[in-house]
Amino acid sequence: MNGQRRRIPLWQGHWLGLVLLAATLFAVPFVAALGGQAWVRIANFAILYVFLALGLNIVVGYAGLLDLGYVAFYAVGAYAYALLASPHFGIHLPFWVILPFGAGLACFFGVVLGAPTLKLRGDYLAIVTLGFGEIIRIFMNNLNAPINITNGAQGITLIDPIRIGDFSFSQTSTIFGVTLSGPQKYYFLLVALAILVIMVNMRLQDSRIGRAWQAIREDEVAAKACGINTRNIKLLAFAMGASFGGIAGGVFAAMQGFVSPESFSLMESITILSMVVLGGMGHIPGVILGAVLLTGLPEALRYGIEPLQKAAFGRMIIDPESLRMLVFGLALVLVMRFRPAGLWPSSLRRRELSETTD
Protein backbone atom coordinates (compact mmCIF):
# COMPACT_ATOMS: atom_id res chain seq x y z
CA MET A 1 0.00 0.00 0.00
CA ASN A 2 2.59 2.52 1.09
CA GLY A 3 4.91 1.94 -1.79
CA GLN A 4 2.11 2.39 -4.24
CA ARG A 5 0.94 5.64 -2.74
CA ARG A 6 4.26 7.42 -3.17
CA ARG A 7 4.34 8.90 -6.61
CA ILE A 8 6.46 11.50 -8.26
CA PRO A 9 4.50 14.67 -8.99
CA LEU A 10 3.80 15.26 -12.62
CA TRP A 11 6.08 18.21 -13.07
CA GLN A 12 9.22 16.56 -11.76
CA GLY A 13 11.52 14.60 -13.98
CA HIS A 14 9.47 14.77 -17.15
CA TRP A 15 10.87 17.82 -18.79
CA LEU A 16 10.20 16.71 -22.31
CA GLY A 17 6.62 15.85 -21.51
CA LEU A 18 6.12 19.12 -19.74
CA VAL A 19 7.50 21.16 -22.61
CA LEU A 20 5.31 19.31 -25.08
CA LEU A 21 2.31 19.83 -22.85
CA ALA A 22 3.00 23.54 -22.54
CA ALA A 23 3.48 23.83 -26.29
CA THR A 24 0.21 22.03 -26.96
CA LEU A 25 -1.68 24.16 -24.45
CA PHE A 26 -0.21 27.26 -26.04
CA ALA A 27 -1.10 26.13 -29.55
CA VAL A 28 -4.73 25.22 -28.83
CA PRO A 29 -6.31 28.67 -29.20
CA PHE A 30 -4.44 29.32 -32.45
CA VAL A 31 -5.19 25.94 -33.96
CA ALA A 32 -8.78 26.17 -32.81
CA ALA A 33 -9.15 29.63 -34.30
CA LEU A 34 -8.43 28.15 -37.73
CA GLY A 35 -11.75 26.34 -37.41
CA GLY A 36 -13.41 29.51 -36.22
CA GLN A 37 -13.57 31.49 -32.99
CA ALA A 38 -16.45 29.28 -31.90
CA TRP A 39 -13.94 26.52 -31.22
CA VAL A 40 -11.91 28.86 -29.02
CA ARG A 41 -15.06 29.58 -27.06
CA ILE A 42 -15.75 25.87 -26.76
CA ALA A 43 -12.18 25.35 -25.54
CA ASN A 44 -12.74 28.10 -22.98
CA PHE A 45 -15.88 26.50 -21.66
CA ALA A 46 -14.07 23.17 -21.59
CA ILE A 47 -11.39 24.67 -19.35
CA LEU A 48 -13.99 26.41 -17.22
CA TYR A 49 -15.58 23.01 -16.70
CA VAL A 50 -12.21 21.44 -15.97
CA PHE A 51 -11.98 24.04 -13.26
CA LEU A 52 -15.45 23.28 -11.91
CA ALA A 53 -15.02 19.53 -12.18
CA LEU A 54 -11.74 19.64 -10.27
CA GLY A 55 -13.41 21.72 -7.59
CA LEU A 56 -16.20 19.19 -7.29
CA ASN A 57 -13.62 16.42 -7.40
CA ILE A 58 -12.36 17.59 -4.01
CA VAL A 59 -15.80 17.06 -2.52
CA VAL A 60 -16.92 13.96 -4.40
CA GLY A 61 -13.70 12.33 -5.50
CA TYR A 62 -11.50 12.91 -2.48
CA ALA A 63 -13.89 13.17 0.43
CA GLY A 64 -16.57 10.93 -1.11
CA LEU A 65 -19.40 13.36 -0.35
CA LEU A 66 -21.99 13.14 -3.09
CA ASP A 67 -22.83 16.77 -3.86
CA LEU A 68 -25.66 17.42 -6.31
CA GLY A 69 -25.85 21.15 -5.66
CA TYR A 70 -22.38 22.25 -6.61
CA VAL A 71 -23.72 24.77 -9.07
CA ALA A 72 -24.94 26.87 -6.13
CA PHE A 73 -21.37 28.01 -5.43
CA TYR A 74 -20.78 28.69 -9.10
CA ALA A 75 -23.89 30.87 -8.98
CA VAL A 76 -22.74 32.68 -5.84
CA GLY A 77 -19.42 33.51 -7.48
CA ALA A 78 -21.07 34.64 -10.70
CA TYR A 79 -23.58 36.86 -8.93
CA ALA A 80 -20.90 38.30 -6.66
CA TYR A 81 -18.96 39.36 -9.74
CA ALA A 82 -22.06 40.57 -11.56
CA LEU A 83 -23.28 42.75 -8.69
CA LEU A 84 -19.90 44.28 -7.94
CA ALA A 85 -18.89 45.04 -11.52
CA SER A 86 -21.93 46.20 -13.42
CA PRO A 87 -24.24 49.20 -13.72
CA HIS A 88 -26.86 47.31 -11.68
CA PHE A 89 -25.68 48.91 -8.43
CA GLY A 90 -23.28 51.23 -10.22
CA ILE A 91 -20.31 49.51 -8.57
CA HIS A 92 -17.29 48.75 -10.74
CA LEU A 93 -14.63 47.04 -8.67
CA PRO A 94 -11.59 45.53 -10.40
CA PHE A 95 -11.52 41.78 -10.92
CA TRP A 96 -8.64 41.13 -8.53
CA VAL A 97 -10.84 42.36 -5.71
CA ILE A 98 -14.00 40.56 -6.76
CA LEU A 99 -12.64 37.15 -7.70
CA PRO A 100 -11.11 36.51 -4.25
CA PHE A 101 -14.20 38.04 -2.66
CA GLY A 102 -16.44 35.72 -4.71
CA ALA A 103 -14.30 32.77 -3.73
CA GLY A 104 -14.52 33.76 -0.08
CA LEU A 105 -18.28 34.22 -0.27
CA ALA A 106 -18.74 30.86 -1.95
CA CYS A 107 -16.48 29.33 0.69
CA PHE A 108 -18.68 30.84 3.39
CA PHE A 109 -21.76 29.38 1.71
CA GLY A 110 -19.97 26.06 1.44
CA VAL A 111 -19.49 25.96 5.21
CA VAL A 112 -22.99 27.23 5.96
CA LEU A 113 -24.59 24.67 3.66
CA GLY A 114 -22.18 21.94 4.68
CA ALA A 115 -22.80 22.29 8.40
CA PRO A 116 -26.35 20.92 8.59
CA THR A 117 -25.47 18.00 6.34
CA LEU A 118 -22.60 16.61 8.38
CA LYS A 119 -24.60 13.81 9.89
CA LEU A 120 -26.06 12.73 6.58
CA ARG A 121 -24.67 10.01 4.44
CA GLY A 122 -24.69 8.96 0.83
CA ASP A 123 -27.99 9.56 -0.88
CA TYR A 124 -29.46 11.62 1.91
CA LEU A 125 -26.59 14.01 1.46
CA ALA A 126 -27.17 14.01 -2.29
CA ILE A 127 -30.79 15.10 -2.02
CA VAL A 128 -30.06 17.75 0.58
CA THR A 129 -27.27 19.31 -1.47
CA LEU A 130 -29.59 19.16 -4.48
CA GLY A 131 -32.13 21.01 -2.38
CA PHE A 132 -29.61 23.67 -1.45
CA GLY A 133 -28.67 24.12 -5.09
CA GLU A 134 -32.33 24.68 -5.99
CA ILE A 135 -32.89 26.99 -3.02
CA ILE A 136 -30.02 29.25 -4.09
CA ARG A 137 -31.26 29.32 -7.68
CA ILE A 138 -34.83 30.09 -6.65
CA PHE A 139 -33.62 32.91 -4.41
CA MET A 140 -31.57 34.37 -7.28
CA ASN A 141 -34.68 34.16 -9.40
CA ASN A 142 -36.89 35.92 -6.88
CA LEU A 143 -34.76 38.46 -5.07
CA ASN A 144 -35.97 41.34 -7.21
CA ALA A 145 -38.64 42.16 -4.66
CA PRO A 146 -39.15 43.61 -2.09
CA ILE A 147 -35.62 44.96 -2.63
CA ASN A 148 -34.12 44.47 -6.05
CA ILE A 149 -30.88 42.61 -5.43
CA THR A 150 -30.47 40.11 -8.25
CA ASN A 151 -32.91 41.60 -10.76
CA GLY A 152 -34.78 38.26 -10.79
CA ALA A 153 -35.19 36.21 -13.90
CA GLN A 154 -34.22 39.13 -16.12
CA GLY A 155 -30.63 38.79 -15.01
CA ILE A 156 -27.85 41.33 -14.87
CA THR A 157 -26.52 42.83 -18.08
CA LEU A 158 -23.44 44.81 -19.08
CA ILE A 159 -21.07 43.14 -16.61
CA ASP A 160 -17.52 44.47 -16.90
CA PRO A 161 -15.04 42.20 -18.61
CA ILE A 162 -11.83 41.36 -16.81
CA ARG A 163 -9.57 44.36 -17.30
CA ILE A 164 -5.99 45.11 -16.33
CA GLY A 165 -5.45 48.80 -16.76
CA ASP A 166 -6.54 49.50 -20.33
CA PHE A 167 -6.07 45.90 -21.37
CA SER A 168 -9.56 44.45 -21.65
CA PHE A 169 -10.04 40.73 -22.08
CA SER A 170 -13.15 41.07 -24.17
CA GLN A 171 -11.66 43.03 -27.07
CA THR A 172 -9.32 42.02 -29.83
CA SER A 173 -5.84 43.45 -29.46
CA THR A 174 -2.34 42.94 -30.73
CA ILE A 175 0.47 41.94 -28.41
CA PHE A 176 4.03 41.53 -29.74
CA GLY A 177 2.68 41.44 -33.26
CA VAL A 178 0.22 38.63 -32.50
CA THR A 179 -3.44 39.44 -32.82
CA LEU A 180 -5.46 37.94 -30.01
CA SER A 181 -9.25 37.87 -30.02
CA GLY A 182 -11.26 38.21 -26.83
CA PRO A 183 -11.91 34.49 -26.42
CA GLN A 184 -8.24 33.72 -27.03
CA LYS A 185 -7.18 36.04 -24.24
CA TYR A 186 -9.67 34.46 -21.90
CA TYR A 187 -8.24 31.12 -22.90
CA PHE A 188 -4.84 31.99 -21.49
CA LEU A 189 -6.36 33.39 -18.33
CA LEU A 190 -8.40 30.23 -17.89
CA VAL A 191 -5.41 28.00 -18.50
CA ALA A 192 -3.48 29.88 -15.85
CA LEU A 193 -6.34 29.45 -13.39
CA ALA A 194 -6.73 25.80 -14.32
CA ILE A 195 -3.04 25.15 -13.72
CA LEU A 196 -3.47 26.74 -10.32
CA VAL A 197 -6.38 24.50 -9.40
CA ILE A 198 -4.58 21.42 -10.74
CA MET A 199 -1.58 22.21 -8.56
CA VAL A 200 -3.80 22.65 -5.51
CA ASN A 201 -5.56 19.39 -6.29
CA MET A 202 -2.26 17.54 -6.66
CA ARG A 203 -0.82 18.96 -3.48
CA LEU A 204 -4.00 18.12 -1.61
CA GLN A 205 -4.16 14.58 -2.88
CA ASP A 206 -1.10 13.41 -0.98
CA SER A 207 -1.25 15.82 1.92
CA ARG A 208 -2.40 15.02 5.43
CA ILE A 209 -5.78 16.49 4.59
CA GLY A 210 -6.00 14.49 1.40
CA ARG A 211 -5.34 11.29 3.28
CA ALA A 212 -7.87 12.25 5.91
CA TRP A 213 -10.47 12.76 3.17
CA GLN A 214 -9.63 9.42 1.71
CA ALA A 215 -10.02 7.80 5.10
CA ILE A 216 -13.45 9.37 5.49
CA ARG A 217 -14.41 8.26 2.01
CA GLU A 218 -13.46 4.68 2.72
CA ASP A 219 -14.87 4.39 6.23
CA GLU A 220 -16.04 7.33 8.24
CA VAL A 221 -16.40 5.50 11.53
CA ALA A 222 -12.88 4.09 11.32
CA ALA A 223 -11.53 7.50 10.33
CA LYS A 224 -13.11 9.04 13.40
CA ALA A 225 -11.69 6.28 15.55
CA CYS A 226 -8.24 7.09 14.18
CA GLY A 227 -8.52 10.56 15.62
CA ILE A 228 -9.50 12.44 12.48
CA ASN A 229 -11.76 15.37 13.20
CA THR A 230 -14.30 14.30 10.63
CA ARG A 231 -16.48 17.35 11.10
CA ASN A 232 -13.79 19.89 10.32
CA ILE A 233 -12.26 17.81 7.56
CA LYS A 234 -15.61 17.40 5.82
CA LEU A 235 -16.37 21.10 6.14
CA LEU A 236 -12.95 21.83 4.70
CA ALA A 237 -13.78 19.74 1.64
CA PHE A 238 -17.03 21.65 1.13
CA ALA A 239 -15.29 24.97 1.65
CA MET A 240 -12.45 24.26 -0.77
CA GLY A 241 -14.70 22.88 -3.45
CA ALA A 242 -17.02 25.84 -3.04
CA SER A 243 -14.20 28.40 -3.37
CA PHE A 244 -13.17 26.97 -6.72
CA GLY A 245 -16.78 27.09 -7.82
CA GLY A 246 -16.91 30.73 -6.76
CA ILE A 247 -13.87 31.66 -8.83
CA ALA A 248 -15.22 29.81 -11.85
CA GLY A 249 -18.49 31.68 -11.44
CA GLY A 250 -16.72 35.03 -11.42
CA VAL A 251 -14.81 34.23 -14.59
CA PHE A 252 -18.01 33.00 -16.21
CA ALA A 253 -19.82 36.25 -15.40
CA ALA A 254 -16.96 38.33 -16.80
CA MET A 255 -16.70 36.23 -19.93
CA GLN A 256 -20.44 36.26 -20.67
CA GLY A 257 -21.14 39.83 -19.63
CA PHE A 258 -24.53 38.62 -18.46
CA VAL A 259 -25.83 36.33 -15.74
CA SER A 260 -29.32 35.02 -15.12
CA PRO A 261 -30.59 32.18 -12.95
CA GLU A 262 -31.16 29.88 -15.91
CA SER A 263 -27.40 29.29 -16.13
CA PHE A 264 -27.40 27.65 -12.73
CA SER A 265 -29.99 24.91 -13.09
CA LEU A 266 -29.85 21.49 -11.52
CA MET A 267 -28.88 20.06 -14.89
CA GLU A 268 -25.63 22.02 -14.63
CA SER A 269 -24.77 20.33 -11.32
CA ILE A 270 -25.55 16.96 -12.84
CA THR A 271 -23.36 17.70 -15.85
CA ILE A 272 -20.39 18.63 -13.65
CA LEU A 273 -20.87 15.51 -11.56
CA SER A 274 -21.02 13.43 -14.74
CA MET A 275 -17.68 14.88 -15.80
CA VAL A 276 -16.08 13.82 -12.53
CA VAL A 277 -17.51 10.32 -12.56
CA LEU A 278 -17.16 9.69 -16.28
CA GLY A 279 -13.53 10.72 -16.31
CA GLY A 280 -12.52 8.86 -13.19
CA MET A 281 -13.39 10.09 -9.73
CA GLY A 282 -10.50 11.30 -7.62
CA HIS A 283 -8.01 11.09 -10.46
CA ILE A 284 -6.96 14.49 -11.78
CA PRO A 285 -6.15 13.57 -15.42
CA GLY A 286 -9.34 11.54 -15.55
CA VAL A 287 -11.47 14.41 -14.32
CA ILE A 288 -9.83 16.74 -16.84
CA LEU A 289 -10.55 14.25 -19.60
CA GLY A 290 -14.17 13.94 -18.44
CA ALA A 291 -14.69 17.70 -18.46
CA VAL A 292 -13.09 18.18 -21.88
CA LEU A 293 -15.05 15.32 -23.41
CA LEU A 294 -18.44 16.23 -22.02
CA THR A 295 -18.07 19.86 -23.10
CA GLY A 296 -16.64 18.99 -26.47
CA LEU A 297 -18.85 16.06 -27.40
CA PRO A 298 -22.20 17.86 -27.75
CA GLU A 299 -20.48 20.59 -29.75
CA ALA A 300 -18.60 18.13 -31.94
CA LEU A 301 -21.89 16.33 -32.53
CA ARG A 302 -23.36 19.62 -33.68
CA TYR A 303 -20.91 19.49 -36.58
CA GLY A 304 -20.82 15.74 -36.94
CA ILE A 305 -24.40 14.47 -36.78
CA GLU A 306 -25.53 15.82 -40.10
CA PRO A 307 -22.78 14.39 -42.33
CA LEU A 308 -22.84 11.18 -40.28
CA GLN A 309 -26.52 10.64 -40.88
CA LYS A 310 -26.19 11.45 -44.54
CA ALA A 311 -23.36 8.98 -44.85
CA ALA A 312 -25.28 6.26 -43.02
CA PHE A 313 -28.73 6.63 -44.56
CA GLY A 314 -28.15 8.90 -47.50
CA ARG A 315 -30.55 11.54 -46.18
CA MET A 316 -31.69 13.24 -43.04
CA ILE A 317 -34.03 10.93 -41.18
CA ILE A 318 -34.25 12.55 -37.79
CA ASP A 319 -33.61 16.18 -37.27
CA PRO A 320 -30.06 16.50 -36.00
CA GLU A 321 -30.86 18.43 -32.84
CA SER A 322 -32.96 15.63 -31.38
CA LEU A 323 -30.31 13.10 -32.21
CA ARG A 324 -27.48 15.12 -30.73
CA MET A 325 -28.60 14.84 -27.13
CA LEU A 326 -29.69 11.26 -27.71
CA VAL A 327 -26.17 10.31 -28.75
CA PHE A 328 -24.82 12.22 -25.77
CA GLY A 329 -27.03 10.22 -23.39
CA LEU A 330 -26.10 6.94 -25.03
CA ALA A 331 -22.43 7.81 -24.75
CA LEU A 332 -22.83 8.34 -21.01
CA VAL A 333 -24.47 4.94 -20.64
CA LEU A 334 -21.98 3.09 -22.81
CA VAL A 335 -18.88 4.59 -21.23
CA MET A 336 -20.07 3.70 -17.76
CA ARG A 337 -21.20 0.29 -18.93
CA PHE A 338 -17.78 -0.66 -20.25
CA ARG A 339 -15.57 1.45 -17.97
CA PRO A 340 -17.39 1.47 -14.65
CA ALA A 341 -14.57 3.24 -12.81
CA GLY A 342 -14.43 5.99 -15.42
CA LEU A 343 -12.45 6.47 -18.58
CA TRP A 344 -9.18 7.09 -16.80
CA PRO A 345 -9.37 5.93 -13.22
CA SER A 346 -6.50 6.12 -10.77
CA SER A 347 -4.48 2.96 -10.45
CA LEU A 348 -5.58 2.63 -6.85
CA ARG A 349 -9.27 2.73 -7.73
CA ARG A 350 -8.82 0.27 -10.52
CA ARG A 351 -7.13 -2.14 -8.16
CA GLU A 352 -9.86 -1.73 -5.56
CA LEU A 353 -12.45 -2.47 -8.14
CA SER A 354 -10.90 -5.64 -9.44
CA GLU A 355 -10.43 -6.89 -5.90
CA THR A 356 -14.00 -6.35 -4.83
CA THR A 357 -15.90 -9.55 -4.92
CA ASP A 358 -18.73 -8.31 -2.74
CA 135 to chain centre: 20
Q: Is position 14 an interface residue for other proteins (rule: CB under 8 A)? A: yes
Checking 161-168 for CB contacts under 8 A at 24+ apart, the result is: 161/254, 161/255, 161/257, 162/95, 162/186, 162/189, 162/251, 162/254, 163/94, 163/95
- Which listed residue (111, 219, 231, 316) binds other proteins by CB under 8 A? 219
DSSP string, 122-152: HHHHHHHHHHHHHHHHHHHHHTTSSS-SS-G
Give the nearest distance from C-beta 233 to other proteins in angstroms.
15
Q: What is the spatial distance between Cα 355 and Cα 259, in angstroms, rounded to a whole number?
A: 47
Touching other proteins, residues 280-309 (CB under 8 A): 281, 285, 288-289, 292, 296, 299-300, 302-304, 307
Q: Is position 331 an interface residue for other proteins (rule: CB under 8 A)? A: yes
Give the nearest distance from C-beta 84 to other proteins in angstroms.
19
Helices (H), the chain: 2-5, 15-34, 37-57, 71-84, 95-114, 122-142, 182-205, 208-218, 220-225, 230-256, 266-279, 284-313, 320-338, 347-355
Sign of the Cα pseudo-torsion (311, 314, 316, 318, in order): negative
Q: Is position 8 an interface residue for other proteins (rule: CB under 8 A)? A: yes
Piece of the chain touching other proteins by CB under 8 A; list 96-104, 212-220, 226-234, 243-251: 212-220
Give the nearest distance from C-beta 19 to other proteins in angstroms.
11
* 186-198 b/e (C-beta count within 10 Å ≥ 16 → b): bbbbbbebbeebb
- Which listed residue (149, 202, 270, 348) binds other proteins by CB under 8 A? 270
Piece of the chain touching other proteins by CB under 8 A; list 16-24, 90-98, 99-107, 231-239: 16-24
Q: Is position 90 an interface residue for other proteins (rule: CB under 8 A)? A: no
Touching other proteins, residues 100-159 (CB under 8 A): 116-117, 119-128, 130-132, 134-135, 138, 141-142, 144, 146, 152-155, 157-158
Piece of the chain touching other proteins by CB under 8 A; list 91-99, 201-209, 236-244, 265-273: 265-273
| Beta carbon nearer to other proteins, 217 or 242 | 217
Piece of the chain touching other proteins by CB under 8 A; list 60-68, 95-103, 104-112, 230-238: 60-68
Q: Is position 313 an interface residue for other proteins (rule: CB under 8 A)? A: no
**CA geometry: angle at 200 spanning 95 and 111, to 5°?**
70
Cβ atoms 273, 102 nearer than 8 A: no
| Beta carbon nearer to other proteins, 97 or 172 | 172
Q: Is position 324 an interface residue for other proteins (rule: CB under 8 A)? A: yes
**Identity (one letter) of the amino acid at 71?**
V
| Beta carbon nearer to other proteins, 178 or 221 | 221
Q: Is position 358 an interface residue for other proteins (rule: CB under 8 A)? A: yes
